[in-house]
């Protein structure tokens, strides 16, 4: 096979691929500053322009961010995150709830099959934190505990793709919970459907766990539709 001369764009792609690998593997952790340009040129054995194009591509993808006069820092461990965040910003509350239903059903189902006794203790502790926030009428505290509960259940699945995907939905999740939170839930503590979900996961019943998710998503959708009707009647 006849070899072709290496093109500049191919070099840039190779540089991007190497830097992406360092970010995704954690060798360049989120929040850290990447090596300065002369050092990257030396390590990669390419021109300064090639390095600049590679860094620019990763900034555009959302993995890196440039700070004027301070250097370039790792912003995200995956290009999935920034892209997903941008897309979720264009979604409405109903769409976000529908996506949550799909992801959280599968998370609850898998967690029911794979959870450890220690993880069950964590779930129950977070439910107690919801109750404590409810007793104090602390809406922000309730939302924080609720988010931690959902993330803990997703981590219990052991599915790295699902964990990464859900992690990048945090802002949209917080907004979704805030928009559909019934004040009566704050009075009564953790919602019954959330308790049923945790009980089902503890009992290793994936069917009941998934049904509990569908139940609280339906409750949230009903609250959302009721708010829309109230606004329309004003």
pTM above 0.85, yes or no: no
pLDDT, tens digit (0-9, with 9 covering 90-100), for 14-38: 899 899 889 888 899 888 999 999 9
Residue 40 pLDDT > 90, yes or no? yes
Residue 139: strand, helix, or coil: helix
Question: If we measure between CA atoms, which residue out of 94, 76, 74 comes closest to residue 85?
Answer: 76
pLDDT, tens digit (0-9, with 9 covering 90-100), for 145-171: 999 999 999 999 999 889 888 877 776
* CB atoms closer than 10 angstroms to residue 136: 11
Instruction: Pick the more confident residue, 190 or 209.
Output: 209
Fold of 81-233: 1.20.120
pLDDT, tens digit (0-9, with 9 covering 90-100), for 73-128: 998 777 666 666 666 666 677 888 888 899 999 999 999 999 999 999 999 999 99
Residue 92: strand, helix, or coil: coil
Let me know: does 173 contact 147? Beta carbons within 8 Å: yes
pLDDT at position 191: 78
Let me know: does 200 contact 208? Beta carbons within 8 Å: yes
pLDDT at position 81: 63
Where along the chain do its domains lie? 8-77, 81-233
C-alpha distance from residue 96 to each of 87, 158, 193 (Å): 11, 23, 19
| Crossing angle of the two packed helices 192-202 and 139-155, in degrees rounded to 10 | 20
Instruction: Pick the more confident residue, 74 or 180.
Output: 74
Cα 140 to Cα 81: distance, rounded to the nearest angstrom: 24
Q: Does the structural domain 8-77 have CATH classification 1.10.10.10?
A: yes
pLDDT at position 37: 94
Return the DSSP state at 25: T
């Amino acid at each position: 096979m006849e070899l072709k001369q290496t093109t500049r764009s191919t070099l840039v792609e190779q540089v991007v691929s190497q830097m992406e690998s360092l970010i995704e593997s954690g060798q360049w952790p989120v929040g850290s500053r990447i090596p300065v340009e002369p050092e990257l040129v030396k390590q990669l054995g390419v021109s300064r322009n090639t390095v600049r194009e590679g860094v620019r591509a990763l900034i555009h993808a959302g993995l890196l961010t440039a700070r004027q006069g301070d250097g370039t820092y790792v912003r995200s461990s995956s290009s999935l995150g920034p892209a997903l965040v941008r897309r979720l910003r264009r979604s409405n509350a109903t769409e976000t709830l529908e996506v949550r239903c799909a992801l959280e059903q599968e998370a609850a189902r898998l967690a029911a099959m794979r959870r450890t006794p220690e993880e069950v203790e964590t779930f129950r502790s977070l439910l107690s934190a919801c109750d404590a926030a409810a007793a104090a009428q602390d809406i922000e505290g309730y939302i924080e505990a609720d988010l931690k509960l959902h993330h803990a259940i997703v981590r219990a699945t052991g599915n790295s793709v699902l964990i990464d995907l859900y992690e990048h939905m945090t802002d949209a999740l917080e907004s979704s919970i805030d928009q559909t939170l019934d004040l009566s839930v704050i009075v009564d503590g953790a919602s019954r459907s959330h308790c049923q979900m945790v009980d089902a996961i503890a009992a290793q019943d994936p069917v009941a766990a998934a049904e509990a998710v569908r139940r609280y998503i339906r409750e949230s959708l009903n609250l959302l539709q009721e708010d829309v009707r109230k606004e329309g009647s004003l």
